[in-house]
A and B are shown apart, each in its own frame.
Chain A
């Protein structure tokens, strides 16, 4: 039988941090969130801006990013070319916007790949422990012996060029960080149980 006390138990303020808890405490709302996390909001706006232009690239640009126009090479910024043109007459702003598509896709996918696989591997290695830990960590050491740049070059040569080869190559170079760091935390958390 639980005894009800008159005193309202309030969790100490320290326990209620983080965006979610703050939003709950202050009453939900975008305005509150913006006031509480100004820096995060600036970052979010930039990210939305970049993502929008990357996704809408054909809609927001008038030039072709790859068409060579030797007549218009090396132009200074003008209304038709806000950032000028390069040595082959291609519009630089258009090329930045289209380049953003590749950069965004590669960075999101490769970090997702490297971190997900790394975290799963790290947790498994720490949690199962024993022989699995011993062997899987030696496997990772084989992997780490190749400097990231060399590993990425070898993978791209092996798989052929293309977006996915780059994503996998960069993702693989992120793997050691994920595995080792997650394993270290998981080793310590495992002992709490």
Chain B
């Protein structure tokens, strides 16, 4: 297994290089250029020599290959460069906004397990009962409700009925945990409910298939308690797609959930990414995409290793 993990880490290097090439090239071929966007409607009035000076300041005047290798050199020495628009560096941006996004993602995934897995299990064990119908009604409902709408609704209800608005801005978890939780809770609940719906449906369908297997009948026949049959034998084998789905969803939650952040006005990474994309802030987009690729590579590795632990027949060679 450790050899497999080592091979995965080695194979991550070309994947990361691939990400850098794709993001670099796709940004450069995209229509529009950052300097024109900066000056908006006045862009045509910039004198060519001024434009050249600004481009040189932003590091955009060198040939593309030189720019690319300079970026690689910078990130390998830990320098993520500066945002074109903000005064701060990309590293500052990640340190400032990253924790909020990580908190929201972790809470949403935990909530989705706490809610989604039990609902899915009950739904599968009492298939086509009233309980199953109610569970399925709510899971489909939460899949269908757009997050930004539910988010806006929560914000409005709190504001109009209780005259309460969550605090704005970036608040550190360690300095002011209560205020921080007020910021994070709303988006975490909205996202968590949506993710729970995915998890509940996946748990239900996966478990429905497993509980018809021979070895479950054997486990029941040898007199095991129902609880042990379901939790130890059935759920363990049904867990593969659930864990996988959780991993993919967790990765996407970490890479930012723009619309929900927008609804709650939380300054997370998703919002930073969209702002950067609209203004073609190359340095921010490039480094955030690279960060997300590392996140996904790590998550996928953990999940693939967990397969072998959950189902020992799966071995990677």
Q: Note all chain B residues with C-beta closer than 8 A to A130.
A: 317
A76 in contact (CB, < 8 A): no
Q: Note all chain B residues with C-beta closer than 8 A to A184.
A: 240-241, 243-244, 303, 307
Q: Which residues of B (1-60) have their CB < 8 Å from a CB of A? A: 7-8, 11-12, 14-15, 18-19, 22-23, 26, 29-31
Instruction: Tell which of B7, B251, B277, B290 touches A153, judged by Cβ atoms closer than 8 Å.
Output: B277
B248 in contact (CB, < 8 A): yes
- A-B pair count, CB < 8 Å, reads 111
List chain A positions with a Cβ less than 8 A from chain B. 14-15, 17, 39, 129-130, 134-135, 137-139, 141-142, 144-150, 153-154, 157-158, 176-177, 180-181, 183-185, 187-188, 191
B258 in contact (CB, < 8 A): yes
Contact A137 B255 (CB under 8 A): no
Interface of B is mostly: helix
Interface of A is mostly: helix
Instruction: Tell which of A15, A147, A188 touches B273, judged by Cβ atoms closer than 8 Å.
Output: A147
Contact B245 A177 (CB under 8 A): yes
Contact A147 B311 (CB under 8 A): no
The docked-state distance in angstroms from the alpha carbon of A157 to that of B29 is 10
Closest 9 CB pairs of A and B: A145-B293, A191-B313, A138-B15, A184-B244, A184-B240, A147-B255, A144-B296, A145-B292, A142-B18
12 A-B contacts (beta carbon < 8 Å): A14-B212, A17-B127, A130-B317, A139-B15, A142-B293, A145-B23, A145-B293, A147-B270, A177-B248, A180-B244, A181-B244, A181-B245
Q: Note all chain A residues with C-beta closer than 8 A to B29.
A: 158
Q: Which residues of B (283-317) have their CB < 8 Å from a CB of A? A: 285, 289-290, 292-293, 296-297, 300, 303, 307, 311, 313-314, 316-317
The docked-state distance in angstroms from the alpha carbon of A41 to that of B259 is 33
